[in-house]
Structure 1
Amino acid sequence: MARPLAMLVLAASLLLAACQKEKKAPPPPPTVQVAAPLQRRIVDWDDYVGRFVSIDAVEIRPRVSGYLDRIAFRDGQQVRKGELLFVIDPRPYQAVLNQARAQTARAGATLANAEVELRRARALFEARAGSQQELTAREAAALQARADLAAAQASERSAALNVEFTRIRAPLSGRVSDRRVATGNLVTADQTVLTTLVNDNPIRFAFEASEALFLKRQRERGRMHALGDPVDIRLQDETDYRWHGKLEFVDNALDVNSGVIRGRAVLPNPNRLLTPGMFGHMRLPGSAPYTGLLLPDEVVATDQNRQTVLVIGRDGVVRLKAVETGPLVDGLRVIRSGLSPQDRVVIGGMGKAKPGAKVKTRPGRIRPREAAPAPAYQSPTPSSATIAS
């Protein structure tokens, strides 16, 4: 009886030892997904938020006072330079002009008579039949008559200008706003605003560059931008930069309060879609094209003051590499340095990969991501940054 009991105890001991040995066996290495960085030709762009402004904007004010007689345009109409916009009752000014013309005719007749008298006095003096005093008086009368005629002619021209000013014409081609005064109202010279007129083709894009971006470009290129540099612009509801123009102005100093410098581009606007006051995003080339490495943004980790990625060596061991990153391109992060095209980067199962540990790998693929559609409206803030494409 004791012998079977001993054999049972021995079998239990062997089974327990086998279970403990099985528990101590190391687990298999985890499997992670790896891929080589995506290579692409990249151009860095400097991006600016700005506003469209008209090249010329005019407040239409009368140059003479009077009662508004007629409005010769439709609100919001496109008008050409010289086209009639308003008519002020011209009758009072026409009466003044007629009076001035009569004064001119009268002064002309007085001058003609004075010249006849002068010629007669000169002839008598030369024949020793007239005095020097008489001749001098006739000469003075002729000079006064000439002066009176010049004054009358100047008054006539001024009165004619006032009559012309009763017909208010467009000083430039563009789009007129709505009428601010109805017919029959009294308008005051140089004070009453009748409407506004803007020239919106071509149109300007005004922007501001931050001091950081200004310094970056100064160091890289020795200048902020060259006048005539091409620019691309997109609107708030657009994803692509479909509007093209050129840089026309960069200010000569930064604003001491905001630390920004003003700039301006100009672009054609033949169908008048671009409207003064509208916001947009503008980009300027910030670098020459170069071959860059791209990784999904989520595989780049921030470790205190550096950014790192996990790579797999030939021996299957996970290693940590510090990298220098750039902007996003199609949802992928540009890697400027610290990585080679042959590196196998962990892009899946990152939680299983520990630096110094051995892992199994399976191939993955890095694909560009489509840009998300722009919302119907974005609340822009004046800013500038560097992007890439």
Structure 2
Amino acid sequence: MALSALLGGCNGEAASQPAAPPPPTVSVAPAIQREVQEFEEFTARLEAPDTVEVRARVAGALEQVHFTEGQQVAKGAMLFTIDPRPFAADVARAEAQLAAARNQAELSSSELARAEKLTSIQGVSQQELDQLRAGVRNSRSNIQSAEAALVQARLNLDFTRIRAPVAGRISRAQLTPGNLVGVGSPVLTTLVSQDRVFAYFDASEATYLKYLHLVRSGTLASPRTATVQAWMGLADETGFPHQGRIDFVDNRLNPATGSIRGRAVFDNREGRFTPGLFARVKVVGSGKYQATLVADRAIGTDQTRKVVMLVGKDNVVQPREVQPGALMDGMRVVQGVKPGELVIVDGLQRAQPGAPVTPQVLKTDDKGLPIPAAPASAPQR
């Protein structure tokens, strides 16, 4: 009886001890391999290819404004009119002076012709003949001078009609009719072209040297010799929906900032871009190559190292140091992981190196990015 009681007490203690908890559940996704091409992103400001400050080329009273402020104007459209009457008078005066010079030239030619007829009978001296010939030459010079004065007078008359030098969108009129304007001052209005738009951006010295190496190795084409594609997105847009091209890279770096200026050009015939807007520009940063990628959120930091947690043999967690590269659609290019190895994506706080886990393999989208698992539904009461 004593032995039975002792055995019964031991069995009760064993039954009261709780069972060991199961390994924690973590979400994993396989590392993938695919062909990638890196891109560089820059911040940019939009500028119009043609920005014109419209100024008067002759002085006078502003007579009329011909445009509606803020409208689109065609090249050659009338913008302002300056009182043309003083300049029309100058044209009439120049025409009269030209006519007088021509009459004088005809008289000089007639006198020279009569004098040359008298040379056979020595009816005129050589001195008088030379003076008449010089008079004919002076008359011709006076005609040229009068013609130039007439051209200048007609130009000044034409300058009283101020026209749009380029097609584009016009600003407001700085002066109203009745005001006096001088030559070149003040600015009457501004005009910016709209058919294209430039996106100016600054690239760092390291980025410039990287591109220079790729161009010299033949991996990338030079913007100076070939068409290099560029993409742009505005502040309220997702991604880079607008395609253009790089058409300019400066010839020197700015020593104060350690950067070099580049420019991309985009079509703007629909008028969707306004000069001065902030934009994001993306350009090709490398040639195409095969790379291994993992979800960016799976990469952690261990002091100065970048590591990922792998699920290895017998579902044991194994830390692995990696060298991260470019980020592409939420996936990070890495070195140190083989394609197909299971990488812990979610539940990293429950994964301990060398400890077993229960892996839950996530589905991935067309780019290899793991899709988060749906939350478990609460049990119904």
Flag whether TM exceeds 0.5 (same fold). yes
Shorter-chain TM-score: which interval? Answer: 0.7 to 0.9
Q: Which residue number corresponds to residue 171 of structure 2?
A: 177
Q: 1:364 to 1:241 in 2, by over 3 A?
A: closer
Q: Which residue number corresponds to residue 343 of structure 2?
A: 345
Corresponding position: 1:64 with 2:58: yes
Once the two structures are overlaid, the 10-residue window that deviates more, 147-156 or 31-40, is: 31-40
CA distance in 2, matches of 1:298, 1:265: 33
- The one-character-per-residue Cα deviations of 1:40-89 (angstroms, maximum 9, x if unpaired) are 54331111111111111111111100001111211122222222211111
- The one-character-per-residue Cα deviations of 1:165-199 (angstroms, maximum 9, x if unpaired) are 11111212222221111111100012221111122
Corresponding position: 1:120 with 2:119: no
CA distance in 2, matches of 1:205, 1:335: 29
Give, in angstroms, the shift of residue 133 of structure 1.
2.5
Q: 1:27 to 1:242 in 2, by over 3 A?
A: closer
CA contact (8 A) 1:32 1:361 kept: yes
Once the two structures are overlaid, the 10-residue window that deviates more, 247-256 or 138-147, is: 138-147
Within 5 Å, give how 1:121-160 maps onto structure 2: 121-160=115-154
Runs of 4+ in 1 over 6 A off after TM superposition: none
- The one-character-per-residue Cα deviations of 1:135-191 (angstroms, maximum 9, x if unpaired) are 222223222322222222221111111111111112122222211111111000122
* 1:309 counterpart letter in structure 2: V
Give, in angstroms, the shift of residue 289 of structure 1.
3.6
Counterpart of 1:55 in 2: which secondary structure?
coil
* 2:358 counterpart letter in structure 1: K
Give, in angstroms, the shift of residue 327 of structure 1.
3.6
Q: Which residue number corresponds to residue 268 of structure 1?
A: 267
Counterpart of 1:87 in 2: which secondary structure?
strand
* 2:241 counterpart letter in structure 1: R
Within 5 Å, give how 1:277-288 maps onto structure 2: 277-288=276-287
Contiguous gaps of at least 5 residues in structure 2: 372-381
- The one-character-per-residue Cα deviations of 1:255-300 (angstroms, maximum 9, x if unpaired) are 0001110111212111111111112111111123445444333321
Counterpart of 2:145 in 1: which secondary structure?
helix
Q: Which residue number corresponds to residue 253 of structure 1?
A: 252
CA contact (8 A) 1:326 1:333 kept: no
Please report the RMSD computed on the Cα atoms of aligned residues, expressed in angstroms: 2.7
CA distance in 2, matches of 1:138, 1:94: 36
Give, in angstroms, the shift of residue 243 of structure 1.
1.3
Q: Give the one of 42, 54, 70 matched to 2:36.
A: 42
CA distance in 1, matches of 2:76, 2:18: 97
Give, in angstroms, the shift of residue 207 of structure 1.
1.2
CA contact (8 A) 2:362 2:370 kept: no
Give, in angstroms, the shift of residue 17 of structure 1.
8.8
CA contact (8 A) 1:34 1:364 kept: yes
CA distance in 2, matches of 1:185, 1:243: 45
CA distance in 2, matches of 1:236, 1:187: 41
* 1:132 counterpart letter in structure 2: Q
Give, in angstroms, the shift of residue 19 of structure 1.
3.1
Q: Which residue number corresponds to residue 229 of structure 1?
A: 228
TM-score (norm 2): 0.86
Counting matched residue pairs gives: 363
Once the two structures are overlaid, the 10-residue window that deviates more, 289-298 or 352-361, is: 289-298
Corresponding position: 1:296 with 2:290: no
Once the two structures are overlaid, the 10-residue window that deviates more, 196-205 or 26-35, is: 26-35
CA contact (8 A) 1:217 1:224 kept: no
CA contact (8 A) 1:295 1:333 kept: yes
Q: Which residue number corresponds to residue 386 of structure 1?
A: none
Q: Which residue number corresponds to residue 204 of structure 1?
A: 198
CA contact (8 A) 1:67 1:186 kept: yes
* 2:71 counterpart letter in structure 1: Q
CA contact (8 A) 2:39 2:283 kept: yes
CA distance in 2, matches of 1:359, 1:92: 96
Once the two structures are overlaid, the 10-residue window that deviates more, 344-353 or 103-112, is: 344-353
CA distance in 2, matches of 1:201, 1:340: 50
* 2:38 counterpart letter in structure 1: D
Q: Which residue number corresponds to residue 99 of structure 1?
A: 93
Q: Which residue number corresponds to residue 103 of structure 2?
A: 109
* 2:60 counterpart letter in structure 1: G
Give, in angstroms, the shift of residue 23 of structure 1.
5.1
What percentage of residue pairs aligned between the two structures are identical? 37
Give, in angstroms, the shift of residue 12 of structure 1.
7.2
Q: 1:242 to 1:369 in 2, by over 3 A?
A: farther
- The one-character-per-residue Cα deviations of 1:85-136 (angstroms, maximum 9, x if unpaired) are 1111110011111111111111111111111111111211222122223222
Once the two structures are overlaid, the 10-residue window that deviates more, 251-260 or 284-293, is: 284-293
CA contact (8 A) 2:174 2:188 kept: yes
CA distance in 2, matches of 1:369, 1:281: 27
* 2:155 counterpart letter in structure 1: L
* 1:197 counterpart letter in structure 2: L
Corresponding position: 1:361 with 2:355: no
Once the two structures are overlaid, the 10-residue window that deviates more, 264-273 or 218-227, is: 218-227
CA contact (8 A) 1:218 1:224 kept: no
Q: Which residue number corresponds to residue 313 of structure 2?
A: 314
Within 5 Å, give how 1:14-25 maps onto structure 2: 15=9, 19=13
Give, in angstroms, the shift of residue 226 of structure 1.
2.4
Counterpart of 2:194 in 1: which secondary structure?
strand
CA contact (8 A) 2:364 2:370 kept: no
CA distance in 2, matches of 1:173, 1:25: 83
CA distance in 2, matches of 1:347, 1:138: 106
Q: Which residue number corresponds to residue 376 of structure 2?
A: none
CA contact (8 A) 1:250 1:263 kept: yes
